[in-house]
Amino acid sequence: GCARAMQEVLELTSRAGFDQGVWMAQLGLADAALLASDIPRAITICRQAMDTLHELNIECAWAQAAAELGAAQLMARQADEATQSLRKAQPILQVGEGEGLILSHVAVLCALRGRPADAARLLGCSDAWHAANQSRPNSTVAKLEQMASAELDAVLGSAEFARLRAQGAAMVGDEPYRLARAAIGVTLDP
Protein backbone atom coordinates (compact mmCIF):
# COMPACT_ATOMS: atom_id res chain seq x y z
CA GLY A 1 0.00 0.00 0.00
CA CYS A 2 2.80 2.42 0.86
CA ALA A 3 4.54 1.77 -2.45
CA ARG A 4 1.31 2.34 -4.41
CA ALA A 5 0.64 5.58 -2.57
CA MET A 6 4.19 6.87 -3.12
CA GLN A 7 4.00 5.90 -6.80
CA GLU A 8 0.80 7.94 -7.11
CA VAL A 9 2.43 10.89 -5.35
CA LEU A 10 5.42 10.60 -7.67
CA GLU A 11 3.20 10.59 -10.76
CA LEU A 12 1.12 13.53 -9.51
CA THR A 13 4.09 15.65 -8.47
CA SER A 14 5.89 14.88 -11.73
CA ARG A 15 2.89 15.95 -13.80
CA ALA A 16 2.45 19.07 -11.69
CA GLY A 17 6.13 19.98 -11.95
CA PHE A 18 6.43 20.01 -8.17
CA ASP A 19 10.11 19.09 -7.88
CA GLN A 20 10.10 19.02 -4.07
CA GLY A 21 7.37 16.40 -4.14
CA VAL A 22 9.19 14.33 -6.76
CA TRP A 23 12.30 13.65 -4.71
CA MET A 24 10.30 13.16 -1.52
CA ALA A 25 8.14 10.57 -3.28
CA GLN A 26 11.24 8.92 -4.70
CA LEU A 27 12.70 8.52 -1.22
CA GLY A 28 9.34 7.24 0.03
CA LEU A 29 9.37 4.65 -2.75
CA ALA A 30 12.91 3.67 -1.81
CA ASP A 31 11.83 3.20 1.82
CA ALA A 32 8.91 1.04 0.70
CA ALA A 33 11.25 -1.07 -1.44
CA LEU A 34 13.63 -1.53 1.50
CA LEU A 35 10.77 -2.58 3.76
CA ALA A 36 9.72 -5.11 1.12
CA SER A 37 13.37 -6.29 0.86
CA ASP A 38 13.45 -5.28 -2.81
CA ILE A 39 17.02 -4.02 -2.51
CA PRO A 40 17.81 -3.63 -6.24
CA ARG A 41 14.70 -1.43 -6.69
CA ALA A 42 15.62 0.64 -3.63
CA ILE A 43 19.12 1.21 -5.01
CA THR A 44 17.74 2.30 -8.39
CA ILE A 45 15.21 4.67 -6.84
CA CYS A 46 17.79 6.20 -4.48
CA ARG A 47 20.04 6.95 -7.43
CA GLN A 48 17.10 8.58 -9.24
CA ALA A 49 16.39 10.71 -6.16
CA MET A 50 20.03 11.73 -5.97
CA ASP A 51 19.92 12.76 -9.65
CA THR A 52 16.77 14.80 -9.02
CA LEU A 53 18.31 16.47 -5.97
CA HIS A 54 21.57 17.15 -7.79
CA GLU A 55 19.62 18.98 -10.49
CA LEU A 56 17.78 20.98 -7.82
CA ASN A 57 21.03 21.66 -5.91
CA ILE A 58 19.57 20.65 -2.53
CA GLU A 59 22.72 19.43 -0.77
CA CYS A 60 21.34 18.32 2.59
CA ALA A 61 18.51 16.31 1.04
CA TRP A 62 21.01 14.91 -1.48
CA ALA A 63 23.12 13.73 1.45
CA GLN A 64 20.05 12.10 2.99
CA ALA A 65 19.37 10.33 -0.31
CA ALA A 66 23.00 9.15 -0.32
CA ALA A 67 22.48 7.78 3.21
CA GLU A 68 19.37 5.95 2.02
CA LEU A 69 21.37 4.53 -0.90
CA GLY A 70 24.04 3.47 1.60
CA ALA A 71 21.37 1.69 3.67
CA ALA A 72 20.21 -0.28 0.63
CA GLN A 73 23.79 -1.17 -0.24
CA LEU A 74 24.43 -2.26 3.35
CA MET A 75 21.39 -4.53 3.21
CA ALA A 76 22.85 -5.99 0.01
CA ARG A 77 26.18 -6.37 1.86
CA GLN A 78 27.92 -4.14 -0.68
CA ALA A 79 30.46 -2.64 1.71
CA ASP A 80 32.58 -0.81 -0.89
CA GLU A 81 29.56 0.82 -2.53
CA ALA A 82 28.04 1.67 0.85
CA THR A 83 31.31 3.32 1.92
CA GLN A 84 31.19 5.61 -1.12
CA SER A 85 27.53 6.47 -0.48
CA LEU A 86 28.14 7.18 3.19
CA ARG A 87 31.05 9.44 2.30
CA LYS A 88 28.61 11.40 0.16
CA ALA A 89 26.15 11.42 3.06
CA GLN A 90 28.64 12.72 5.63
CA PRO A 91 27.44 16.35 5.36
CA ILE A 92 24.59 15.13 7.57
CA LEU A 93 27.20 14.94 10.32
CA GLN A 94 28.09 18.59 9.78
CA VAL A 95 24.67 20.20 9.62
CA GLY A 96 23.13 18.56 12.66
CA GLU A 97 20.43 16.57 10.88
CA GLY A 98 20.07 12.82 10.75
CA GLU A 99 22.97 11.98 13.04
CA GLY A 100 21.20 8.94 14.46
CA LEU A 101 20.60 7.67 10.95
CA ILE A 102 24.17 8.00 9.77
CA LEU A 103 25.64 6.64 13.00
CA SER A 104 23.61 3.46 12.58
CA HIS A 105 24.57 3.12 8.94
CA VAL A 106 28.28 3.47 9.70
CA ALA A 107 27.89 0.97 12.54
CA VAL A 108 26.56 -1.61 10.09
CA LEU A 109 29.38 -0.78 7.68
CA CYS A 110 31.91 -1.41 10.47
CA ALA A 111 30.26 -4.76 11.19
CA LEU A 112 30.55 -5.71 7.51
CA ARG A 113 34.17 -4.53 7.41
CA GLY A 114 35.21 -6.70 10.38
CA ARG A 115 35.39 -3.87 12.91
CA PRO A 116 32.98 -5.20 15.54
CA ALA A 117 34.16 -3.00 18.42
CA ASP A 118 33.62 0.19 16.41
CA ALA A 119 30.29 -1.15 15.17
CA ALA A 120 29.09 -1.81 18.71
CA ARG A 121 30.24 1.61 19.90
CA LEU A 122 28.49 3.35 17.01
CA LEU A 123 25.26 1.47 17.73
CA GLY A 124 25.55 2.80 21.28
CA CYS A 125 26.11 6.30 19.91
CA SER A 126 22.96 5.93 17.83
CA ASP A 127 21.04 4.69 20.90
CA ALA A 128 22.16 7.76 22.85
CA TRP A 129 21.28 10.12 20.00
CA HIS A 130 17.77 8.69 19.75
CA ALA A 131 17.29 8.85 23.52
CA ALA A 132 18.50 12.46 23.68
CA ASN A 133 16.19 13.43 20.83
CA GLN A 134 13.24 11.42 22.13
CA SER A 135 12.96 9.57 18.85
CA ARG A 136 13.01 6.03 17.59
CA PRO A 137 14.98 4.67 14.67
CA ASN A 138 12.98 4.61 11.45
CA SER A 139 12.12 1.21 9.98
CA THR A 140 15.19 1.11 7.74
CA VAL A 141 17.54 1.97 10.58
CA ALA A 142 15.82 -0.56 12.86
CA LYS A 143 16.24 -3.26 10.22
CA LEU A 144 19.93 -2.42 9.79
CA GLU A 145 20.52 -2.31 13.54
CA GLN A 146 18.87 -5.72 13.98
CA MET A 147 21.07 -7.15 11.24
CA ALA A 148 24.24 -5.73 12.82
CA SER A 149 23.24 -6.59 16.40
CA ALA A 150 22.73 -10.27 15.60
CA GLU A 151 26.14 -10.45 13.94
CA LEU A 152 27.90 -8.49 16.68
CA ASP A 153 26.34 -10.58 19.42
CA ALA A 154 27.64 -13.70 17.68
CA VAL A 155 31.13 -12.28 17.07
CA LEU A 156 31.69 -10.44 20.34
CA GLY A 157 29.47 -12.37 22.71
CA SER A 158 26.56 -10.77 24.51
CA ALA A 159 28.50 -9.32 27.44
CA GLU A 160 31.24 -7.68 25.35
CA PHE A 161 28.71 -6.39 22.83
CA ALA A 162 26.68 -4.81 25.62
CA ARG A 163 29.82 -3.31 27.22
CA LEU A 164 31.01 -1.74 23.96
CA ARG A 165 27.53 -0.49 23.10
CA ALA A 166 27.28 1.18 26.50
CA GLN A 167 30.75 2.67 25.96
CA GLY A 168 29.51 4.20 22.70
CA ALA A 169 26.36 5.52 24.36
CA ALA A 170 28.58 7.34 26.86
CA MET A 171 30.61 9.18 24.20
CA VAL A 172 30.23 12.94 24.40
CA GLY A 173 30.46 15.93 22.12
CA ASP A 174 31.88 15.26 18.69
CA GLU A 175 33.39 11.87 19.62
CA PRO A 176 30.69 9.78 17.89
CA TYR A 177 30.97 11.78 14.68
CA ARG A 178 34.77 11.62 14.66
CA LEU A 179 34.50 7.84 14.99
CA ALA A 180 31.92 7.66 12.19
CA ARG A 181 33.98 9.92 9.90
CA ALA A 182 37.13 7.89 10.54
CA ALA A 183 35.25 4.68 9.74
CA ILE A 184 34.22 5.99 6.31
CA GLY A 185 37.58 7.65 5.68
CA VAL A 186 36.49 11.29 5.84
CA THR A 187 38.42 14.07 7.52
CA LEU A 188 37.25 17.63 7.93
CA ASP A 189 39.38 20.63 7.08
CA PRO A 190 40.57 22.45 10.23
CB-CB contact of 117 with 48 (8 Å): no
* pLDDT tens digits, 21-73: 788 888 889 988 988 889 999 999 999 989 888 888 887 788 888 989 999 99
**What distance in Å separates the CA atoms of residue 2 and residue 105, rounded to the nearest whole number?**
23
Give the number of other Cβ atoms within 10 Å of residue 109's Cβ: 26
| Exposed e or buried b per residue across 120-153, where buried means at least 16 C-beta atoms within 10 angstroms of its C-beta | bbbbbbbbbbbeeeeeebeebbebbbebbbebbb
Which of 39-53, 128-142, 150-164: highest mean pLDDT?
150-164
Helix, strand and coil in the chain, % to nearest 5: 80, 0, 20
Q: Kindly tell me the burial class for residue 33, based on how many C-beta atoms sit within 10 Å of its own C-beta (0-12, 13-18, 19 or more).
A: buried
Give residue 125's identity as a one-letter amino acid code.
Answer: C
Ramachandran angles phi, psi of 138, nearest 5°: -70, 175
* pLDDT tens digits, 94-114: 555 566 778 889 999 999 999
